[in-house]
Amino acid sequence: MSDYSEIDKKQDLQVLHSMGYAQELERRMSQFSNFAVSFSIICILSGGINSLAQATSGAGGAAIGIGWPLGCFISFVFAVAMAQISSAYPTAGGLYHWGSILGNRFTGWLTAWFNLLGLVTVLGAINVGTYYFFMGSFGTPYFGLEDTTGTRIVFLAIITGAQALVNHMGIALTAKLTDFSGYLIFVTAILLAIVCLAVADTYEIGRLFTFSNYSGEAGGNVWPQTSATWVFLLGLLLPIYTITGYDASAHTSEETVKAAHSVPRGMISSVLWAALFGYIMLCAFVLMIPDMDEAAKQGWNVFFWAMDAQVNPIVRDILYLAILVSQWLCGLATVTSVSRMIFAFSRDGGLPASKALSKVSPTYRTPVAAIWTGSILAVLFVWGSSLVSIGDTPVYTIVVSCTVIFLFFSFAIPITLGLIAWGTSKWDKMGPWDLGEGMFKLFAVLSIVAMVLIFVLGIQPPNDWALYITVGFLIVTGIIWFAFEKRRFRGPPIGDEVARRQAEIAAAERAVGEA
């Protein structure tokens, strides 16, 4: 990169060394690439389409016209607060380090487990979403495939394996594909919006601000029968669930040039652009729907129902193919994020087999074992949880509803700690991207309020088992911490430990050809 000077490289290296880590991963990601990896995971063509029924079978048009920007703002407040911290501490597995440095060993360890569990399950959920989109667009209509557990797991194993292989082969290839993904999402979202508007019967703009209550039978039982207020609030889960994953910018800090500047910008811009283009795309789709009442009855099939009814088959299938590729690239970027979290946590001894999981390939400069471990765990999670049900609900569905709760908890912990630690010895030096004390604390408080709202919404029926799983996870992690990890886990290097690591840092960099 022509604008990445030796001075910039030394500054990045100095920041990393000051936190006690070697430059084992390769800095090949530009500021745009850092933005693109988060934008690819957010992927409005994945969550925005696969979870669309949460709006259309909930509060109807207003769930998009009003609910989408409101839900996006909730995600935005987390991104802004995290951006402030990421500029001061630009390391792989960022949230884990923030939780440790701004708090203590336990808060860092807890943040890591919440984030790691959320990332592994969300990788599985993203690729399951890709599977169902493939089945609805091509698999069943053209190939006559039936949805069975075996078909689903084979499909997941193939696409997740391909995503892991690309990640294995180096961050340069991954960055090129996620850069392409960023452009592809922009172009496809705009094309989809144009097509929707071109084939719309009428332009009922008021539909976007009309509140309905399609809970229960009227909405294909996507939501149980409830009040109009609650069904609108539950519809906020569509944008909140979609606009997440921007922590990938932090996880790839050690592979990003000028990380202290690029990471916070990548995080915030990915949320803003996804919110804007997602709004344009989804509003156009709602305007295209021939009948809102009939659309609500379609439940989870609403996207395919409307596209089949209104759009020319050739144009429709071209859009389907672009969306399918975007969804696969979304999973690709998620593998990157998962593996960097595993790598960062393991190099401080936070996981079983940490020595192997933290090893970086000198050939590809990637954490190979972490990449394949995260990918395999995601497939095993989907397979195992699909075989077990609680009542009539598969455990997979219940755990996925916990995924975003886990992820946002992992965001909220270091943000809350940052609110407390600002100006103390734990955080007395800000990064170059600095909001100022007043603005950061405002967004930190808003993040805490938003976390409470997300938790409350996330445990409502039909996802009420999410409460028990979340509480159970907290109890289990508490037992593991006090029984085993409190004595064993040392956390990231802080204070004198950083100075003692300098010889190890030099050796690690020589081993991968950096020095």
pLDDT, tens digit (0-9, with 9 covering 90-100), for 459-514:
888 888 888 888 888 899 999 999 999 999 988 988 788 888 888 888 888 888 88
Q: Per residue, what are the HEC states of 318-369?
A: HHHHHHHHHHHHHHHHHHHHHHHHHHHHHCCCCCCCHHHHCCCCCCCCCCHH
Q: Looking at the predicted structure, is the pLDDT value of residue 217 above 80?
A: yes
Say how far apart CA 382 and CA 121 lie, in whole Å: 8
What local confidence, expressed as pLDDT, does residue 391 receive?
64
Q: Looking at the predicted structure, is the pLDDT value of residue 108 above 90?
A: yes
Is the sign of the CA dihedral 390, 394, 397, 400 positive or negative? positive
What local confidence, expressed as pLDDT, does residue 47 receive?
92
| Chain centroid to CA 74 | 15
User: What residue spans define the domains of the chain?
Assistant: 24-512
Q: Looking at the predicted structure, is the pLDDT value of residue 251 above 80?
A: yes
What local confidence, expressed as pLDDT, does residue 465 receive?
83
Q: What percent of the chain has pLDDT over 70?
A: 97
Partners of 256 in the beta sheet? 29
Contact 19, 259 (CB under 8 A): no
Q: Looking at the predicted structure, is the pLDDT value of residue 515 above 70?
A: no
Token pair for 275: 């919110």
What local confidence, expressed as pLDDT, does residue 161 receive?
98
Say how far apart CA 485 and CA 489 lie, in whole Å: 5
Q: Per residue, what are the HEC states of 395-432?
A: HHHHHHHHHHHHHHHHHHHHHHHHHHHECCCCECCCCC
Q: Looking at the predicted structure, is the pLDDT value of residue 5 above 90?
A: no
Section 205-223 average pLDDT: 95
Say how far apart CA 301 and CA 165 lie, in whole Å: 32
Burial 365-382 (b: 16+ CB within 10 A, else e): bbbbbbbbbbbebbbebb
What local confidence, expressed as pLDDT, does residue 395 receive?
65
Burial of 334 (0-12, 13-18, 19+ CB in 10 A): buried
Instruction: Choose among 308, 272, 278, 326: nearest CA to 129.
Output: 326
How many residues are given for the chain?
515
Section 434-446 average pLDDT: 97
Which comes out higher in pLDDT, residue 464 or 45? Answer: 45
Burial 36-66 (b: 16+ CB within 10 A, else e): bbbbbbbbbbbbbbbbbbbbbbbbbbbbbbb
Q: Looking at the predicted structure, is the pLDDT value of residue 216 above 90?
A: yes
Mean pLDDT of the residues in the chain: 93
For residue 166, name the pLDDT band (cuts at 50, 70, 90): very high
What local confidence, expressed as pLDDT, does residue 396 receive?
65
Residue 393's H or E segment, with its range, is strand 393-394
Q: Looking at the predicted structure, is the pLDDT value of residue 48 above 80?
A: yes
Say how far apart CA 152 and CA 157 lie, in whole Å: 9
Say how far apart CA 209 and CA 199 lie, in whole Å: 21
Q: Looking at the predicted structure, is the pLDDT value of residue 401 above 80?
A: no
What local confidence, expressed as pLDDT, does residue 393 receive?
62
Q: Looking at the predicted structure, is the pLDDT value of residue 224 above 70?
A: yes
Radius of gyration for the alpha carbons in the chain, expressed in angstroms and rounded: 22
Is the sign of the CA dihedral 153, 118, 368, 45 positive or negative? positive
For residue 280, name the pLDDT band (cuts at 50, 70, 90): very high
Say how far apart CA 300 and CA 85 lie, in whole Å: 38
| Chain centroid to CA 279 | 19
Which comes out higher in pLDDT, residue 285 or 387? Answer: 285
Q: What is the pLDDT of residues 335-357, one digit of tens each?
A: 999 999 999 999 999 999 999 99
For residue 155, name the pLDDT band (cuts at 50, 70, 90): very high
Token pair for 166: 């690309």
Section 444-473 average pLDDT: 90
* Backbone dihedral angles phi then psi of residue 433, each to the nearest 5 degrees: -95, 100
- Classified as helix, coil or strand, 313 is helix
Is the sign of the CA dihedral 514, 371, 488, 108 positive or negative? positive
What local confidence, expressed as pLDDT, does residue 469 receive?
85
Amino acid at 284: A
Section 167-184 average pLDDT: 96
What local confidence, expressed as pLDDT, does residue 1 receive?
64
Q: What is the pLDDT of residues 83-93, one digit of tens each?
A: 999 999 999 98
Say how far apart CA 145 and CA 136 lie, in whole Å: 10
Say how far apart CA 158 and CA 170 lie, in whole Å: 19
Q: Looking at the predicted structure, is the pLDDT value of residue 390 above 70?
A: no
Say how far apart CA 445 and CA 451 lie, in whole Å: 10
What local confidence, expressed as pLDDT, does residue 138 receive?
96
- Classified as helix, coil or strand, 380 is helix
What local confidence, expressed as pLDDT, does residue 128 receive?
92
Is the sign of the CA dihedral 263, 265, 271, 277 positive or negative? negative
> Looking at domain 24-512, does it have CATH number 1.10.10.10?
no
Q: Which of 1-5, 117-121, 478-482 has the lowest mean pLDDT?
A: 1-5
Say how far apart CA 444 and CA 263 lie, in whole Å: 18
For residue 144, how many other CB atoms are within 10 A of its CB? 7
